[in-house]
């Protein structure tokens, strides 16, 4: 390394260290240096709550290593958000300030504040009672509560944000946490359209390429003992901001198309092998049944909003133990028994799985046939799920922009005919599984299960 490079690195390090940084050791990213305002946020009850919420819901009942929490994931996302933003700032003459970068890091740190018990599992349970529920919106409410309850506005001004622009910055942070406003025309208030690329760092609604995904792919694979073929560090080195159709977007070198497909394939593979494993779904189905049976404890029937967010803060994975070790309250007995069966590994019976080519009427006919002679009505549960690259049946690279080495300021999409011919013809597959909600293990039950499996299999055989 020559003297000039050493000087440049020293200047950059000095700029980052205007305040006393805190160093965290992360099992995935190594030594992480965090801005003091991020540490202030981490040291609040609202953020510490994430220690008690598993990143992967019920996966740890199948993969014992998958018991990591939203706490360390959120810290990892804040770190990666800062690294990507600093890379863009240092390699190009673009309008991105240290204040912008700090806001992006705060958004990365707080993007998952609103998750409930067992993460996405709670979303499904809550949405069955309130179809407007989104954990991203709850993250906004919790962020507001965190800032107000802990008096962090003054701390934010003390550590780098400007008082006269603070409300605009707080709006910007919440817009990155929950980016639901329209981009055409530009409706975001935190930053103008010229800084549109900043909204693609934490939660990229354009194509799903963001640091949230970079962290959970690496972190989940690390804890599950699996391999992740995607290299986000290469992405950081090659990413730059280019103007496409009059708007600034994060673009990548065209030769790195394959690296991005590796990322989407890694996501698909984790869904197939882990997140939607048939036993994972079985366990989560049972936890869901227990949670529904313990509605008062989880306040499922009560609307959650910014006015009662303090009650929601108390909901963590600890509700599992509260149900499991509850007294003999009449309204909790059934829920407790379900969780006891999970612990004893007495799970529901798996009947079969097929591609979801049936209409709702055909599914109903199949279930009626399975239950007609063997089971009481309502004994079977049908779960429909999908495997995709994150954008349904669309190729996510349709909305991904690239640049050429000889024209680094011009962004473009790669036409389909010029992409790899080894890609799938379709990018989404919907499947469904049938479970028998019976946890007994005896000859009669096993015999019925074999009949159910045989009938299910015959239904899909060619006539």
**Annotated catalytic, 135?**
yes
d(CA 55, CA 219): 10
Given the residues 35, 68, 135, 249, the one annotated as active site: 135
End-to-end CA distance of the chain: 71
d(CA 297, CA 74): 27
Residue 113 near residue 51 (C-beta atoms within 8 A): no
- Positive or negative CA dihedral for 27, 33, 34, 40? positive
Furthest CA-CA distance within the chain: 82
d(CA 149, CA 142): 10
d(CA 17, CA 75): 19
- The residues carrying an active-site annotation are 135
């Amino acid at each position: 390394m020559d003297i000039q490079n050493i000087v440049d690195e020293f200047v950059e390090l000095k700029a980052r260290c205007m305040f006393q940084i805190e160093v965290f050791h992360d099992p995935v990213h190594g030594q992480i240096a965090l801005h003091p305002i991020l540490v202030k946020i981490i040291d609040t009850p609202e953020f510490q709550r994430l220690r008690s919420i598993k990143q992967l819901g019920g996966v740890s009942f199948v993969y014992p290593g998958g018991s990591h929490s939203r706490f360390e994931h959120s810290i990892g996302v804040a770190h990666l958000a800062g690294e990507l933003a600093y890379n863009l700032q240092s390699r190009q003459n673009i309008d991105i300030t240290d204040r912008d970068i700090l806001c992006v890091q705060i958004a990365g740190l707080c993007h998952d504040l609103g998750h409930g018990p067992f993460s996405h599992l709670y979303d499904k349970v809550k949405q069955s009672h309130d179809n407007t529920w989104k954990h991203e919106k709850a993250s906004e409410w919790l962020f507001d509560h965190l800032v107000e309850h802990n008096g962090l506005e003054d701390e934010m001004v003390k550590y780098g944000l400007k008082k006269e622009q603070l409300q605009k910055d707080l709006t910007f942070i919440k817009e990155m946490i929950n980016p639901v406003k329209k981009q055409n025309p530009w409706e975001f208030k935190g930053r103008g359209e010229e800084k549109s690329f900043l909204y693609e760092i934490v939660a990229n609604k354009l194509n799903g390429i963001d640091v949230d995904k970079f962290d959970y792919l690496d972190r989940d694979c690390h804890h599950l003992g699996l391999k992740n073929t995607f290299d986000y560090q290469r992405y950081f080195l090659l990413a730059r901001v280019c103007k496409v159709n009059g708007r600034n977007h994060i673009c990548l070198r065209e030769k790195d198309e394959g690296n991005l497909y590796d990322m989407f394939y890694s996501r698909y593979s984790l869904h197939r092998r882990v997140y939607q494993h048939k036993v994972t779904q079985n366990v989560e189905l049972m936890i869901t049944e227990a949670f529904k049976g313990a509605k008062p404890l989880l306040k499922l029937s009560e609307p959650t909003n910014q006015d009662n967010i303090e009650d929601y803060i108390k909901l963590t994975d600890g509700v599992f133990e509260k149900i499991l070790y509850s007294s003999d309250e009449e309204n909790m007995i059934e829920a407790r028994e379900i969780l006891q069966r999970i612990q004893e590994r007495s799970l529901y019976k798996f009947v079969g799985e097929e591609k979801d080519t049936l209409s709702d009427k055909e599914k109903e006919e199949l279930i009626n046939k399975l239950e007609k002679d063997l089971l009481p009505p309502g004994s079977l549960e049908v779960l429909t799920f999908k495997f995709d690259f994150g954008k349904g049946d669309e190729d996510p690279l349709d909305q991904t922009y690239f640049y050429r080495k000889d024209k680094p300021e011009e962004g473009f999409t790669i036409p389909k005919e010029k992409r790899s011919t080894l890609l799938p013809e379709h990018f989404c597959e919907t499947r469904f599984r049938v479970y028998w909600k019976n946890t007994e293990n005896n000859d009669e039950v096993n015999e019925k299960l074999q009949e159910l499996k045989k009938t299910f299999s015959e239904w899909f055989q060619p006539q």
